[in-house]
């Protein structure tokens, strides 16, 4: 878990630097090596490793727009994920999905920029596992700002009615962009919503990977043993802005700086030292993680960009082979100049 947490943190810090390349002197979001938005999850690593270290490749994980820590903990190919983030042809989605749309079928991982969107597919994966008599489970990650979304609540209902092997993991980082949780969501402990759906709920209210691992062990074990879903909320801390370029003018300084006292990586390092792991070993893990991150980024940046023509591949608007489009010719019919 420590190795994955350190890898995720170093990865995010590296992306933070790479992202700004070419975006200055103003902030041109479309310029540079990593075009588009970038949401970093530094500070949230405990929620990723504590759950994903109970999972196998055939278990499904869906993540939201802040996905890298979860992808790393689930074992997504770091090289191809990085190529995807840099928009390269050899990326997981041929460079067309970008950082919010990572798909790795080898380890059953997907993420989406639409918040709570991962919940229904995770329920679908859990239903599929049940129908196949497999003991695979599914995990849907979402932020606390997404728990008022209908898709999440509908998913809780369906998971409970069908007793499905799914765990919903809410990463509570206190903020939905600039909106503090207390202003828009009740109850404060989101896991209590499980009661209304007659399912198990639990909350881990410290940024502690071991505590998450223990709570997730129960939840994943319950799902794997055929004993139904769980809603698990985990308190985490968003160290960075909502997205790269966020001036965070809305955020009290004390909250911004709180990570110094509550860093989950420091906490786990202290725990490992207590258990007899020495500093040399921890440094060795850090060095190996730094090398892995550097290799992934270096490799990704050497990869080709997709051909412009490839923009038309893999999109739903392509008519299937042998079918001609019945779109009216441009300028013909009622649609011309119409109201869309």
Place of tokens 């918040």: 115
Among 68, 99, 242, 267, binds ligand TPP (CB under 6 A): 242
Among 9, 23, 54, 65, binds ligand TPP (CB under 6 A): 65
**Number of alpha carbons in the 13 Å side-chain half-sphere of residue 107:** 23
Q: Does residue 235 interact with Mg ion by CB under 5 A?
A: no
Which CB, 125 or 139, lies closer to Mg ion? 139
* DSSP code for 188: S
| Interstrand relation of 109-111 and 138-143 (parallel, antiparallel or unpaired) | unpaired
Partner that binds at residue 242, options ligand TPP, Mg ion, none, CB closer than 5 to 8 Å by kind: ligand TPP
Partner that binds at residue 115, options ligand TPP, Mg ion, none, CB closer than 5 to 8 Å by kind: ligand TPP
Which CB, 175 or 197, lies closer to Mg ion? 175
Stretch that binds ligand TPP, among 90-98, 107-115, 249-257, 311-319 (CB under 6 A): 107-115
Stretch that binds Mg ion, among 36-44, 137-145, 202-210, 311-319 (CB under 5 A): 137-145
Give Cα 121 distance to the centre of its chain.
14
Cα–Cα dist 34/18, whole Å: 7
Which CB, 150 or 276, lies closer to ligand TPP? 150
Burial status of residue 188 (CB atoms within 10 A of its CB: 0-12, 13-18, 19 or more): exposed
Among 31, 161, 177, 270, binds ligand TPP (CB under 6 A): 177
* DSSP code for 309: G
Quick note: the x/- pattern for Mg ion over 146-185, rule CB under 5 A, is: ---------------------------x-xx---------
Place of tokens 């911004």: 256
Q: Does residue 114 interact with ligand TPP by CB under 6 A?
A: yes
Count of Cβ atoms closer than 10 Å to residue 143 Cβ: 24
Partner that binds at residue 65, options ligand TPP, Mg ion, none, CB closer than 5 to 8 Å by kind: ligand TPP
Place of tokens 């001609």: 324
**Minimal distance, residue 186 CB to ligand TPP, in Å:** 15
Cα–Cα dist 79/72, whole Å: 11
**Minimal distance, residue 167 CB to ligand TPP, in Å:** 17
Which CB, 194 or 236, lies closer to Mg ion? 236
Quick note: the x/- pattern for ligand TPP over 134-173, rule CB under 6 A, is: --------xxxxx--------------------------x
For the stretch 298-303, contacts whose Cβ atoms lie closer than 8 Å and that sit 24 or more positions apart, written own/partner, are 299/79, 299/82, 299/83, 300/79, 300/82, 300/83, 300/85, 300/86, 300/88, 300/91, 301/33, 301/86, 303/83, 303/86, 303/88, 303/89, 303/90, 303/91
| Interstrand relation of 109-111 and 103-104 (parallel, antiparallel or unpaired) | antiparallel
| Residue 64: both structure tokens together | 């939201």
Which residues from 61-90 bind Mg ion, rule CB under 5 A? none
Among 115, 126, 136, 216, binds ligand TPP (CB under 6 A): 115
* DSSP code for 276: T
Q: Does residue 228 interact with ligand TPP by CB under 6 A?
A: no
**Minimal distance, residue 253 CB to ligand TPP, in Å:** 19
Partner that binds at residue 113, options Mg ion, ligand TPP, none, CB closer than 5 to 8 Å by kind: ligand TPP
Footprint of ligand TPP (CB under 6 A): 65-66, 113-115, 142-146, 173, 175-177, 242
């Amino acid at each position: 878990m420590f190795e994955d947490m350190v890898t995720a943190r170093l990865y995010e810090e590296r992306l933070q630097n790479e992202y700004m390349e070419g975006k200055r002197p103003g902030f041109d979001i479309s310029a540079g090596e990593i075009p588009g938005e970038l949401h970093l999850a530094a500070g949230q690593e405990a929620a990723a490793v504590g759950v994903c270290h109970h999972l196998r490749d055939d278990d499904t994980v869906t993540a939201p727009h802040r996905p890298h820590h979860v992808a790393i903990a689930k074992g997504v190919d770091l090289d191809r994920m990085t190529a995807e983030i840099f928009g390269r042809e050899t990326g997981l989605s041929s460079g067309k999905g970008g950082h919010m749309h990572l798909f790795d079928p080898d380890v059953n991982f997907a993420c989406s920029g639409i918040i709570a969107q991962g919940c229904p597919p995770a329920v679908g994966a859990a239903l599929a596992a049940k129908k196949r008599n497999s003991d695979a489970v599914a995990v849907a990650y979402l932020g606390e700002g997404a728990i008022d979304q209908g898709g999440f609540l509908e998913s809780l209902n369906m998971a409970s009615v069908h007793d499905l092997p799914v765990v919903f993991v809410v990463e509570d980082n206190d903020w939905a962009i600039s909106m503090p949780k207390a202003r828009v969501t009740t109850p404060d402990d989101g896991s209590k919503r499980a009661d209304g759906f007659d399912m198990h709920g639990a909350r881990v209210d410290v940024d502690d990977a071991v505590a998450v691992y223990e709570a997730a062990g129960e939840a994943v074990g319950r799902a794997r043993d055929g004993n139904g879903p769980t809603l698990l909320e985990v308190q985490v801390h968003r160290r960075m802005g909502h997205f790269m370029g966020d001036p965070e003018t809305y955020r009290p300084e004390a909250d911004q700086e709180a990570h110094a006292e509550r860093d989950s990586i420091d906490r786990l390092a202290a725990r490992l030292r207590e258990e007899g792991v020495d500093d040399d070993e921890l440094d060795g893990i850090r060095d190996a993680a730094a090398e892995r991150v550097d290799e992934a980024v270096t490799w990704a940046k050497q990869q080709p960009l997709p051909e412009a023509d490839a923009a038309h591949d893999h999109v739903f608007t392509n008519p299937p082979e042998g079918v001609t489009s019945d779109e009216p010719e441009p300028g013909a019919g009622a649609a011309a100049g119409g109201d869309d």
